[in-house]
Amino acid sequence: MAGHSKWKNIQHRKGKQDAMRGKLFTKISREIFSAARSGGGNPDTNFRLRMAIDKAREANMPSDNIQRTIDKALGNIPGVTYEELVYEGYGPGGVAVMIELLSDNRNRTAAEIRHIFTKRDGNLGETGCVGWMFDRKGVLTVEKEGCPFSEDDLLMMALDAGAQDFQSEDDYFEITTSPDDFASVQEALVGQGIKFDEATVTFVPQNTVELHGEDAKKMLQLYEALEEHDDVQAVYANFEISEEEMEKIG
């Protein structure tokens, strides 16, 4: 789990950039659309939809926008149909990169993502070229500040709920689950008064590559360019950058 934790630390230092970029609503709307289309429009029985709605509310998305997106997904309102895609490739320094997307035009999206990789010394690869380097995991993070429980108590609560792993980082606790147990663990801990800073099913790298110098700088540029693309929902990569290196990059 070191790979996810290290990158999580970088994200904390960089800040929640999606919100600052003003593109968060677009990404959340597409996730709501995809979740409702695949699992129905009832968040009580569609946990993926419930997660997306919770994320939308945290971002202060208007309720009308949420419901309109669900109605479009169910065919109640004519609109654009999105396709779920996963692209894989390599970044500077041989870093493995996986990208989850929602697109209304597969050919356009593929060309644009390929251009982003090529411009930043990366390479968009074939399906399966790096997927084997990642494990699908549920990850829940709890900010230490304001957590009503001690580390030992939270650890026991998480394990009792069915979590696979528990780690203490600088300013947050990280709870790991299998994808199948993610919903039940989250619900059990929420029921005991736990509030999560992040709760998602994600790809976690099995091993990581430590980057320095130009490779580190270019990889961050690639990661940020991918995140900024309107069709990209999430980016996963197996690199680490030390705090000292981050300070050099600025």
Domains of the chain plus CATH, in order, are 2-73 (1.10.10.200), 133-205 (3.30.70.980)
pLDDT at 12: 47
3-state secondary structure of 207: coil
Helix (H) or strand (E) holding 124: strand 123-124
Output DSSP code: residue 213. H
How far is Cα 202 from Cα 137, in angstroms, rounded to an integer? Answer: 5
Helix orientation angle between 63-73 and 24-39, rounded to the nearest 10 degrees: 40
How far is Cα 81 from Cα 250, in angstroms, rounded to an integer? Answer: 40
In Å, how far are 92, 219, 242 from 209, measured between CA atoms? 10, 11, 11
pLDDT at 230: 83
3-state secondary structure of 217: helix
Collect the ranges in the chain with pLDDT lower than 70: 1-22
pLDDT at 9: 52
pLDDT at 146: 84
